[in-house]
Amino acid sequence: MTGSSSSVPRKPAASERQRRDRMKHLYSTLASFLHLQPYERMPLPEFLDRAANALIQRKERVERLKARKEELENELRCASNNGHSLQLVRVTEIDSKLEVNLIISANNKKAEAFRVLSVIEQGGAEITNSSFCTVGQLIYCTIHAQAFQARVGFDVALIESRLLELVYLS
């Protein structure tokens, strides 16, 4: 033989071990993508059921978010077609997390970023992510938050009413 590995037959046990190791690696990757506990700690059928349920939940969440995006885009179109001064306050709770979407006038000195964030924190939420983007005379804000304490939660109605006050009563 010339040292070519293709002419040497593999042992069945070695190839079976490689197959099992590859499957184990794939299951571990799936668990990490779906934020599940490692599959070694539960029976494989249960792990696969949980993975399937997690994928279904993610798909449903994507559909809800797509519908919400379209709703917001329609509101923007309607408001801009009517020539109104466009300002929007939307506060929603999604999967026990808070999402705040604002469109405010850049001339609105009362609704500055630090005041908006302060209102959310006063409502019992901790800011996890925020983005502010100015386009022309409008400021687009998206803020994600979660409760300071999971047991207590946050007051969505209070946050929304204070933000409405801040944006519209300036």
Residue range 5-34, pLDDT digits in tens: 555 556 788 888 999 889 888 888 888 887
Record the tokens describing residue 147, joined without a space: 């409760």
63 pLDDT exceeds 90?
yes
What pLDDT shows up at residue 82?
A: 58
Are 141 and 113 in contact by the 8 Å Cβ rule? The answer is yes
pLDDT-based confidence at residue 168 (cuts at 50, 70, 90): confident
124 pLDDT exceeds 60?
yes
What pLDDT shows up at residue 86?
A: 64
- List the 125-135 sheet strands across, edge first: 88-94, 97-105, 138-147, 125-135
- Could you read off the pLDDT of 67-100 as tens digits, one per residue? 988 887 777 677 666 555 567 788 888 777 888 8
Average pLDDT score over the chain: 80
Are 117 and 127 in contact by the 8 Å Cβ rule? The answer is yes
132 pLDDT exceeds 70?
yes
DSSP state of 67: H
pLDDT-based confidence at residue 129 (cuts at 50, 70, 90): very high
* Distance from C-alpha of 16 to C-alpha of 162, rounded to nearest angstrom: 63
Residues 6+ apart with CB under 8 A from 80: 86
pTM above 0.75, yes or no: no
